[in-house]
């Protein structure tokens, strides 16, 4: 009886260990980007369900290719690289020397963590987690500074890209900046 109990414990422990080493675990790190991300939890028009997977694996960029990580995660590159694409200018962490790629994210455990948008672009009148204050930019036209709270940052990045794609691509039909409720969805009452 004792032999069968020990044998059963051994088999169960082997199964438990082997189940954590399945094919979905990378040999080095196993990090995978989150597929569905809910944005705008306090948005007046409702939340946005953003499919990270659709945007990174399908040819959805303005050039008709896969969207590179830094097109959205603009701080995930050295500041010297970000500065080449005004109005961007910030790399995080400040001493960053590498540019984020999907391969690096999945395989390099030493790679800097991906910064969430809200860590720098907080709600209006809220101090961001990583910066002393909300970032500001001066637009190419005009002299006024624009404070990039989370609403401004999301709309400039997401809707701006969608509008550009509508001008240049006949194959894609993303919601434009004028179709708010195509992305924003209120919870059912």
Does a structural domain hold residue 7? no
Contact present, 73 and 40 (Cβ < 8 Å):
no
Q: What is the CATH number of the domain that holds 60?
A: 3.90.10.10
Q: Is residue 79 part of a domain?
A: yes
Q: Please check whether residue 20 lies inside any domain of the structure.
A: no
**Residue 4 forms part of a structural domain:** no
This prediction's pTM: 0.72
Within-domain flag for 69: yes
What percent of the chain is predicted at pLDDT more than 70? 84
Q: Give how many domains the chain has, as a whole number.
A: 1
Structural domain includes residue 116: yes
Look at residue 6 in the predicted model and tell me its pLDDT.
41
Q: Report which secondary-structure segment, H or E, holds 173.
A: none
> Rounded CA gap, 21 and 50, in Å?
29
pLDDT tens across 20-42, in order?
Answer: 333 333 333 467 888 999 998 98
Specify if 81 maps to a domain. Answer: yes
Are 185 and 47 in contact by the 8 Å Cβ rule? The answer is yes
Q: b/e map of 36-63 (b: 16 or more CB within 10 Å)?
A: eeebbeebeeebbebeeeebbeeebbee
Q: CA-to-CA distance for 138 and 45, rounded, in angstroms?
A: 27
Select from 114, 109, 72 the least CA-distant residue to 93. Answer: 114
Asked if residue 14 has pLDDT above 50, the reply is: no
**Arithmetic mean of pLDDT over the chain:** 81
The Cα–Cα gap between 70 and 115 comes to 11
Residue 80 within any structural domain of the chain: yes
Mean pLDDT of 77-105: 89
Give the range of the structural domain holding residue 149, as residue numbers without chain letter: 28-185
**In whole angstroms, what is the distance from residue 159 CA to residue 179 CA?**
9
pLDDT tens by residue, 130-175: 999 999 988 878 788 999 999 999 998 899 899 998 888 887 888 8
Which contiguous run of DSSP H or E holds residue 145?
strand 145-147
């Amino acid at each position: 009886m004792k032999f069968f109990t020990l044998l059963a414990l051994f088999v169960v422990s082997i199964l438990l260990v082997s189940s954590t080493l399945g094919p979905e675990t990378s040999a080095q790190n196993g990090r995978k980007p989150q597929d569905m991300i809910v944005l705008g939890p306090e948005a007046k028009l409702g939340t946005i369900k953003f499919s990270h997977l659709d945007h990174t694996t399908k040819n959805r960029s303005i050039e008709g290719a896969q969207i590179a990580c830094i097109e959205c995660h603009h701080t995930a590159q050295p500041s010297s690289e970000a500065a080449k694409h005004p109005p961007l200018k910030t790399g995080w962490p400040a001493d960053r020397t590498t540019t984020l790629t999907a391969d690096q994210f999945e395989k390099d455990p030493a790679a800097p963590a991906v910064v969430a948008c809200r860590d720098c672009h907080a709600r209006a009148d809220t101090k961001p987690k990583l910066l002393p204050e909300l970032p500001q930019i001066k637009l190419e036209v005009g002299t006024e500074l624009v404070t990039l709270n989370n609403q401004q940052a999301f709309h400039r990045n997401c809707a701006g890209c969608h509008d550009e794609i509508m001008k240049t691509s006949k194959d894609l039909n993303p919601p434009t900046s004028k179709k708010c409720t195509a992305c924003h969805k209120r919870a059912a009452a």
